[in-house]
Structures are given as C-alpha cells and as structure tokens.
Amino acid sequence: MAYFSQQLINGVVLGSIYGLIAIGYTMVYGIVGMINFAHGDIFMIGGFVALITFLILVSIGLTFVPVILLLVLLVAMAMTALYGWSVERIAYRPLRHSFRLAPMLSAIGMSFALSNFAQVAQGARVKPVPPIVTGGYTLFERSGFAVQLSNIQIIVVITTLVLLALFTYLVSRTRLGRDMRACEQDQTMAALLGVDVDRTISMTFVIGAALAAVAGMMYLLYYGLVDFFMGFVAGIKAFTAAVLGGIGSLPGAMLGGLSIGLIETMWSAYFSVEYKDVAAFSILIVVLIFLPTGLLGRPEVEKV
C-alpha cells in the first residue's frame, strides 16, 4: 500500500507535466484542426531557456530561491511563447487553408529543425543542473517503506492546478476565450462577426507554448536535466495523452495526461521499466478501439 501510494504521487506529478504539454496540442487542434508536431520541441526549448536563465541568475548573485524560480518561470514563458508565435507565422499560417497533410508535414519539419537547432546551439550532451528545490515530507511509513512527498512535487502539482484554474478562466470568461471558442466552431463566421481570427490563432499558439514552457521548467526542476532530444519523447507522450483524453477537449487533455503518467509509473513500478512506453501506447490503442474519439472527445456523428 505504501509503495502504491508513492507510485500514485509520482504518477500524478509526471501526469501533470504531460497534461500541461497536452493542453497545447489539444488547443491548437481544436482551433486549427492540425497536429502541432513541433509542440514537443517547444517544450524542450522551454526547458533550455529555463536552464540558461537559471544559470545567468545564479551567476549574477541571486540566491533567494522563490525569486529565482519566479523570474525563470516568467522569462521561460515569455520567450517560449515567442517561439510558438514564430513557428505559427513561418510554418503554419501560409498553409492555413491548404490540404490537411501539408501543415502536418510542415510541423514535422519544424520539429526536426527545432531539435537540431537546440543540438547545434547548445551541444548534444545532457545538461545536468544541481537540485534547486530540495527537501520534502515523509507522509507515512509502513513496513519499512517511507512515502515521500518532495517539495518539488508539491510545486509541480500546485503550479499545474493554478495554471489550469487561470486557463479555464481565460477560456470560459474572457474575450479572448470567447474568440477562441468561436474560431473553434466556425472560423469564417467568427471572422464575419468581427473576431480577428489570425490574432486569435496566434494567441492560441502563444498560450500553448507558454504552458509548454512551464512544463519544460517543471521537467528541469523535477528531473534536474535537459537535452535536445527530450522534446520528441515527451511530445509523443503528451500527444498520446491529448488523444487519449479526446483531442479538442481541455479537461480531456488533463485527464489523458494523468492517465499516461499513472500508466507509465505503475507499469514501471510493478512490471518492467523497459516496456513502460509500450504499455502507454498499447493502452491508447485499446482505448481508441472502444472509444474512437478518446475518453472525453465528442463522438463523431456521421452526417449522411
């Protein structure tokens, strides 16, 4: 039981990170109807920007950890958001009303370019950072196994919850959120009613990238390393999460993220670490056989 509780905690933390990335996939899909393959690499860029900002802040003599974290968070979100915006402008906007596969391949190309860019600019080796946030609590101890909840885990989960609350408010209560929902339903009609579609789509990418940057920073804090290749694996996992939850559905993305995080952790804990990804992908396939539009996706009604 103690072991299980520990895995549960680990799974939820991992799932939160996946969920934050998955929201970016699902938002873009909802509005533009395309898979933003470069999103995983945006997450990776977020991790790198966070790392570099952190190094600079430490070297100029900042020592108060909360201030460092806050500054790193802000810089990472802002700069990664600009990456998201640029990617949309360069690779997707010219293909907005094109053939469906063209933007997808353009996105795959962008993904390759971004990961190779990070590799060339920052080197291929893994970048380790010393633990920034340390300490934690022992929740309970049973038969010699102590269930730990570290401070960093608390930070990850709380940050995710706060961002989710903000994000839900943004989508459901603000002008931008209304515009986004309108564009999701019908871009032409939204444009006729005075919604600036280009701007709304840009903002979608910006918000998605900012959330991915947060995920990147959390990843850096939690695992203590970044590398240029992490975007691919995390991206595929998060995309799997988005699809599992039902692509286009925001609660679905979070639910999918948590499911993938839990499946991965539990499988590693009880079966084999090597096959954890195989388990996650297999469960995705099994779920889609029975629910072809994911857990919370709207069932597709075939108009005849």
Name residues contacting another protein, limited to 191-250 (CB under 8 A): 232, 236, 239-240, 243, 247
- Out of 8, 57, 68, 108, name the contact with another protein by CB under 8 A: 108
Cβ closest to another protein, residue 29 vs residue 167:
29
Applying CB under 8 A, which part among 153-161, 166-174, 177-185, 290-298 lies near another protein? 290-298
Contact between 114 and another protein per CB under 8 A? yes
Minimum distance, C-beta of residue 158 to another protein, in the bound complex (Å) = 26
- Out of 1, 74, 105, 162, name the contact with another protein by CB under 8 A: 105
Applying CB under 8 A, which part among 16-24, 64-72, 88-96, 137-145 lies near another protein? 88-96
Minimum distance, C-beta of residue 54 to another protein, in the bound complex (Å) = 9
- Positive/negative CA dihedral, 286, 290, 294, 300: positive
Distance CA 64, CA 96 (A): 46
Enumerate residues 145-164 that contact another protein by CB under 8 A: none
Identify which of 5, 1, 15, 3 has the alpha carbon closest to the alpha carbon of residue 264: 15
- Out of 61, 63, 66, 99, name the contact with another protein by CB under 8 A: 99
Enumerate residues 68-87 that contact another protein by CB under 8 A: 75, 79, 82-83, 86
Enumerate residues 25-44 that contact another protein by CB under 8 A: 29, 35
Minimum distance, C-beta of residue 140 to another protein, in the bound complex (Å) = 35
- Out of 3, 117, 140, 145, name the contact with another protein by CB under 8 A: 117
Residue with tokens 């360069």: 90
Question: Parallel, antiparallel, or unpaired: how do β-strands 225-226 and 127-128 relate?
Answer: antiparallel
Is 19 within 8 Å of 244 (Cβ atoms)? no
Minimum distance, C-beta of residue 78 to another protein, in the bound complex (Å) = 9
Cβ closest to another protein, residue 65 vs residue 126:
126
Q: Which residues contact 301 (CB under 8 A, 6 or more apart)?
A: none
Q: Concatenated DSSP letters for 91-115?
A: IIGGGTTS-THHHHHHHHHHHHHHH
Enumerate residues 256-285 that contact another protein by CB under 8 A: 274-275, 277-278, 281-282, 284-285
Cβ closest to another protein, residue 126 vs residue 189:
126
